[in-house]
Amino acid sequence: MTAVSDPLLTELLDLALEAARRAGALLRDGRPDDLAVAKTKSSPIDVVTEMDIAAEKLITGFLSEHRPQDGFLGEEGASSPGTSGIRWVIDPLDGTVNYLYGLPTWAVSIAAERDGETVVGVVEAPMRGETYRAVLGGGAYAGERRLAVRPSPPLDQALLGTGFGYVQSRRAHQADVAQRVIPRVRDIRRGGSAAIDLCDVAAGRLDAYYERGLNPWDLAAGALIAREAGGLTGGRPGEQESGELTVAASPGLFAPLQELLEELGAWHD
Ligand code: IPD
Ligand code: CA
Ligand code: CA
């Protein structure tokens, strides 16, 4: 395993791993049989459960106990700038719809940024029994296994992951883009967790992934893990990944996929 020489990054990684482990256990073991929707957000299908909220509370409580000066950005409302230059970016439950239905593809995603740059990423996927992690410059791992993207296939043989947002007008255009991508690639998967999709690129289980409309908490940890596994991440050609568009792929596939997505207008609604 590549040793991480910066003690601060080691501390942040250890805290992220422990917070994600605890939240993952809470979500896995504490899921009520009659789990219901607690509230909706951007649309009636954008749901939050009591467990999303409990997991975020656990994570922010644990991290702020150990590092009271750090900032937070959490999907369920955690928001503070902090004074240490470190900010935690948290999706306490990525894949809420899967979780609600009892499907296994969901994860806890925790990233640490230093002065705005992601330096640590942890994605805990309890129903897979896997924890993905990366430190900037230190490689990506799942347990003892070093992660590496697949050798790049030609675009027409690529297995892609993607996702769809919760707002109807956006979904309609995303479906239209996907319809035009499918004949140009091997196939498309819609797993239901952006964080896991990015880790699947890192682990060589997908050749690439793209989605419009992600938030920082969906992508921060997974994008670092994909990059540290040798993948490239970005948005529209020449741009960084963002809510406008996120693309992650093995290096030889990245530019051809970006070009196709540009041609199809995957970056707009
Ligand atoms: C969602 C998942 C999904 C993606 C959506 C995200 P949530 O996050 O990552 O795969 O397609 O864009 O919003 O709401 O389950 O945390
Ligand atoms: Ca999410
Ligand atoms: Ca979430």
Residue 189, phi then psi, degrees to nearest 5: -115, 145
Atom 12 of ligand 1: nearest residue by CA position: 165
Q: Which ligand is nearest to the CA of 59?
A: 3
And the tokens for 66? 């150990």
CB contact set of 39 (below 8 Å; sequence gap of 6+): 47, 48
How far, in Å, is the centroid of ligand 1 from the Cα of 3?
A: 32
Kindly write down the DSSP assignment for every residue of 42-105, as one continuous string.
SSTTSEEEHHHHHHHHHHHHHHHHH-TT-EEEETTS-EE--SSSEEEEEEEEE-HHHHHHT-S-
- Residues making up the chain, counted from first to last: 269
How far, in Å, is the centroid of ligand 1 from the Cα of 7?
A: 33
Q: What is the pLDDT of residue 5?
A: 80
158 dihedral zone (left: phi>0; alpha: psi -120 to 50; beta): beta
pLDDT in tens, 40-76: 998 999 888 999 999 999 999 999 999 999 999 999 9
For residue 46, give the ligand 1 atom closest to its CA: 14
pLDDT in tens, 136-173: 999 999 999 999 999 999 999 999 999 999 999 999 99
Q: Would you say residue 1 has pLDDT above 70?
A: no
And the tokens for 136? 């900037």
Nearest residue to 205 via CA among 151, 126, 150: 150
Name the residue ranges covered by the structural domains of the chain: 7-146, 155-264
Averaged pLDDT, 98-125: 98
How far, in Å, is the centroid of ligand 1 from the Cα of 202?
A: 18
CA atoms within 13 A on the CB side of 75: 31
Q: What CATH superfamily is the domain 7-146?
A: Fructose-1,6-Bisphosphatase, subunit A, domain 1 (3.30.540.10)
Amino acid identity of residue 38, one-letter, is: A
Q: Would you say residue 187 has pLDDT above 60?
A: yes
For residue 96, give the ligand 1 atom closest to its CA: 15
pLDDT in tens, 219-239: 999 999 999 999 999 999 999
Residue 73, phi then psi, degrees to nearest 5: -135, 110
* pTM for the model: 0.97
Q: What is the pLDDT of residue 47?
A: 83
For the beta carbon of residue 240, count every other beta carbon within 10 angstroms: 12
At 151, is the secondary structure helix, strand, or coil?
coil
pLDDT in tens, 189-207: 999 999 999 999 999 999 9
The binding-site residues of ligand 1, defined as CB within 6 angstroms of any ligand atom, are 91, 94-96, 163-165, 192-194, 211, 213-214, 218
Q: Would you say residue 2 has pLDDT above 60?
A: no
Residue 3 pLDDT grade (very low, low, confident, very high; cuts 50, 70, 90): low
Q: How far is CA 214 from CA 99, 152, 232, in A?
A: 19, 24, 17
Q: What is the pLDDT of residue 112?
A: 98
CATH 3.40.190.80 applies to domain 155-264: yes
Amino acid identity of residue 183, one-letter, is: P
Q: Residue 209's beta-bridge partner residues?
A: 161, 248
Q: What is the pLDDT of residue 46?
A: 86
For residue 217, give the ligand 1 atom closest to its CA: 16
How far, in Å, is the centroid of ligand 3 from the Cα of 92?
A: 6
